Structure 1
Amino acid sequence: MARFMDVHHGMKGITAEQLDQAHHADLAIEKEEGVHFERAWADPESGTVYCLSEAPSAEAVQRIHTRAGHPADEVHEVPLEA
């Protein structure tokens, strides 16, 4: 299964609680698309949120995020890691 990093913009002021709620909304339905969201990070000042996942495709990642109410602005496959 491939790994993906997705990026959400426009979430300025996001709190730790809101990030946790959004992450858990993804986790609640991720299996329906064969996705597993591993972690999420946020920069409240810039409004940028990053999510790391394993999934069969970028489209599957986007479908889960969209259904959870926070579609990603970018989804990037991460083919190499160190």
Structure 2
Amino acid sequence: MPLFMDIHRVDGPVGMKDVAQAHQADLATQGAYDVNYLKYWVDESQGKIFCLVDAPDAETAATVHREAHGLVADEIYRVDEGA
């Protein structure tokens, strides 16, 4: 299945605790869509969140975010795993 990296831009700082809760909501929702949210990174001061997800396509990955917590990514890129 393809890998995708999504980027969320939040106005103002973002807290690790809030992102962790959103990630848990993704994990609870993803099974119904054959999606696997693998990892996330946060730039608290810049208000950016990056999520790595294994999904059939970008729209399905976005559907999980939308259903889990409503925080849909601003951008989603297909990425290839390097050596």
TM-score, normalised via structure 2 length = 0.91
Percent of paired sites with the same residue = 37
Could you tell me which residue of structure 1 aligns to residue 71 of structure 2?
Answer: 70
SS of 2:26 mapped into structure 1: helix
SS of 1:49 mapped into structure 2: strand
SS of 1:70 mapped into structure 2: coil
Letter in 2 for 1:60: T
Could you tell me how far 1:12 is from its partner in structure 2?
A: 2.9
RMSD between superposed Cα atoms in Å: 1.2
Could you tell me how far 1:44 is from its partner in structure 2?
A: 1.1
SS of 1:6 mapped into structure 2: strand
Could you tell me how far 1:23 is from its partner in structure 2?
A: 0.5
Could you tell me how far 1:74 is from its partner in structure 2?
A: 0.6
Distance 1:63 1:42 in 2: 21
Could you tell me which residue of structure 1 aligns to residue 7 of structure 2?
Answer: 7
Note the residue ranges of structure 1 that are not aligned, 5 or more in a row: none
Instruction: Name whichever of 11-20 and 25-34 sits farther off.
Output: 11-20
Could you tell me how far 1:39 is from its partner in structure 2?
A: 0.5
Note the residue ranges of structure 2 that are not aligned, 5 or more in a row: none
User: Which runs of 4 or more aligned residues in structure 1 lie more than 3 Å from their structure 2 counterparts after TM superposition?
Assistant: none
SS of 1:14 mapped into structure 2: coil
